[in-house]
Structures are given as structure tokens and as C-alpha cells.
């Protein structure tokens, strides 16, 4: 039986009170609740304070370039279908630098989970506006207010028909852990956008702000696209719903389209030399066995 202690305790570089701590607890709770051992899980991240999360949990991990967590995460899953693969980074990394990868991943529908730490700011670069910073939000880095309209990631995901779309809040840990478990169990690309306050560089979207502005979805049918789109558009000064917004149960995971990506991990498969020889011969000429001299 797996417990949260199996995922270890590590010293972090996060500020005291950072929402990343509660998010990490929810992640551990979700993984232990699914009885997943650390060797069965692989986290892939980009750059930023949120992207350090896999450094502080005992499991397989790949820390890549800024905004580039999704390509290696999809590659890892296709190479090893038995592995639970989670892409975890911040809103700037996932929706800014990695924005095009985010769109491509939803279109492709590889069976991975994407966890986005959404604190509506670039914390590592001291308070620059991120894609989800609300228009007019003032910080030391933008004293005249953020000039651009905020990117609504869950609305974009629902509009594209992503196969699983949810939003959570670190102030509701059990609820968040349940969303992460549902996302992992879902077959196909699953997004969980997670509100987690940056206590150092975002003095607007604080823990109290999220507490006041969020509510849990009830009597909501996540398979109804129109309902989901309506809920996804509730944002700004309105109450913001948390929970599973959308499930597209009709989409097929990417690997089901390609027989070579299913089954056991690539590392355990044997090469079919006869099939390779036939492919080579199909281009003409002859295949000569290579021998050492």
C-alpha cells in the first residue's frame, strides 16, 4: 500500500506561504490514493518556481526548457504506455512560452495529465505579467497595469474539445486531490488548471481572493459542451467555478490511432530484423550483413 511518505520530504527554494506547498500535498495525496508507487510515475516540467515541483517529490522526472514540458511528456508516454506521465509547470511556462505546445497537445490527445500552477504572475522574474494576469493588474514590474486581456486557459481547452478540463484551488486540498486523480484516470489529454497564490509578487490574487471568488461546481453535466463553455467563461470579478468543467468521452487517445505506440514499453520489445530487411529491400538493392573485421 503506497502512502504519501513514499514520495519523500525535501527542502525547497519556495517562499514561506507559497501555494506550491499545498499543491504538492494534493499531488502526493492523489498519487498515494491511486496506489501508484514512485517508480510508476514520471513528472516533466519546464522552468520557473512551479517547474521545480518535481525536484521535491520522489519519482522519475525530466526538467527541460522553458515552456517545453509537453513534448517530452508526450514522448515519454508513447515510449512507455505503462508509465503515468504528468506535465507540471506554471501558467507562464505552460500558456506563454509553451502556448503552442499546449494547443498541439489538446489536438493530439496523448494520454497524459497537465497540471498548471496558475498564480496569474511570473513569480521567478519578480512579478511580470503572465498570460493569465488580469488586465489592469499593477505590480512593480508593470506600474501602469497589465495592458493585455487575460488568457482563459480552461475556456480555450473547452472550445477546442480537449478531452478533460478541470480547475482546482489549493485552498480545497481534498477537492483538488480528487480532480488530479480523475485527470490521471482519464484516457487522453487532461488539463487541471490550479489556483495557487504567489505571496511575494501577486498582492491582488491572494489566498483570500481565491477563497472569496471560487465556488465548487454542483449540478453540472461535464459532458454537455454548451454548459461547460458557459462555466469556463465565468471569470474576472465574477465567481469562478472549480471542478470538472468538461469531459469529451468520444475522443480517442492518440496511441489508439497508431498500433506501434500501444502495448508494452519500447525498451522491452524485440527488434523484428526480418521486417526491417523487407523494408530495406523495398527501396531497391540488397541488404548486406555487416561483419566485424
- pLDDT digit string (tens) for 12-60? 999 999 999 999 999 999 999 999 999 999 999 999 999 999 999 999 9
- Tell me the Ramachandran region of residue 217: left when phi exceeds 0, alpha when psi lies from -120 to 50, beta otherwise: beta
3-state secondary structure of 208: helix
31 Cβ partners below 8 Å, 6+ apart?
A: 2, 7, 41
Distance CA 81, CA 53 (A): 23
Euclidean distance between CA atoms 163 and 253, whole angstroms: 9
CA distance 240 to 37: 34
In tens, the pLDDT along 175-221 reads 999 999 999 999 999 999 999 999 999 999 999 999 999 999 999 99
Cα–Cα distances (Å) from 199 to 28, 151, 207, 209, in that order, read 22, 21, 8, 12
CA 133 to chain centre: 19
**Would you mind telling me the total number of residues written for the chain in this entry?**
293
Phi, psi of 282 (to 5 degrees): -65, -15
Beta bridge pairs of residue 131: none
DSSP assignment, residue 7? G
CB 83 within 8 A of CB 74: no
pLDDT digits (tens, 9 = 90+) for 5-23: 999 999 999 999 999 999 9
- Assess contact for 88 and 54: CB atoms under 8 A: yes
pTM: 0.93
What pLDDT does 290 receive?
Answer: 63
Instruction: Read off the pLDDT of residues 236-275 as tens digits, 9 standing for 90 and up.
Output: 767 999 999 999 988 999 999 987 877 889 889 888 889 8
The Cα 170–Cα 266 span in angstroms is 37
Average pLDDT over residues 116-128: 91
Amino acid at each position: 500500500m503506497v502512502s504519501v511518505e513514499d514520495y519523500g520530504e525535501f527542502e525547497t527554494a519556495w517562499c514561506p506561504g507559497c501555494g506550491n506547498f499545498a499543491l504538492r500535498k494534493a499531488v502526493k495525496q492523489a498519487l498515494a490514493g491511486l496506489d501508484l508507487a514512485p517508480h510508476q510515475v514520471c513528472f516533466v516540467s519546464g522552468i520557473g518556481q512551479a517547474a521545480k515541483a518535481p525536484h521535491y517529490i520522489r519519482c522519475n522526472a525530466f526538467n527541460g526548457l522553458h515552456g517545453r514540458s509537453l513534448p517530452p511528456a508526450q514522448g515519454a508516454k508513447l515510449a512507455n504506455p505503462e508509465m503515468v506521465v504528468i506535465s507540471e509547470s506554471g501558467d507562464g511556462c505552460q500558456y506563454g512560452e509553451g502556448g503552442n505546445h499546449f494547443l498541439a497537445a489538446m489536438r493530439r490527445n496523448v494520454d497524459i495529465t497537465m497540471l498548471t500552477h496558475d498564480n496569474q504572475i511570473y513569480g521567478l522574474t519578480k512579478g511580470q505579467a503572465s498570460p493569465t494576469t488580469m488586465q489592469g493588474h499593477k505590480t512593480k514590474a508593470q506600474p501602469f497595469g497589465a495592458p493585455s486581456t487575460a488568457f482563459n486557459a480552461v475556456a480555450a481547452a473547452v472550445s477546442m474539445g480537449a478531452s478533460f478540463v478541470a480547475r482546482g484551488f489549493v485552498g480545497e486540498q481534498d477537492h483538488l486531490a480528487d480532480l488530479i486523480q480523475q485527470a490521471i484516470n482519464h484516457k487522453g489529454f487532461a488539463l487541471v488548471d490550479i489556483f495557487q497564490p504567489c505571496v511575494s509578487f501577486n498582492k491582488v490574487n491572494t489566498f483570500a481572493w481565491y477563497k472569496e471568488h471560487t465556488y465548487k461546481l454542483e449540478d453540472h453535466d461535464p459532458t454537455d459542451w454548451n454548459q461547460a463553455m458557459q462555466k469556463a467563461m465565468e471569470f474576472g470579478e465574477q465567481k469562478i467555478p472549480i471542478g470538472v468543467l468538461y469531459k469529451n468521452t468520444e475522443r480517442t487517445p492518440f496511441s489508439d490511432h497508431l498500433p506501434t505506440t500501444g502495448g508494452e514499453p519500447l525498451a522491452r520489445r524485440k527488434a523484428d530484423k526480418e521486417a526491417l530487411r523487407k523494408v530495406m529491400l523495398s527501396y531497391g538493392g540488397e541488404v548486406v550483413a555487416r561483419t566485424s573485421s
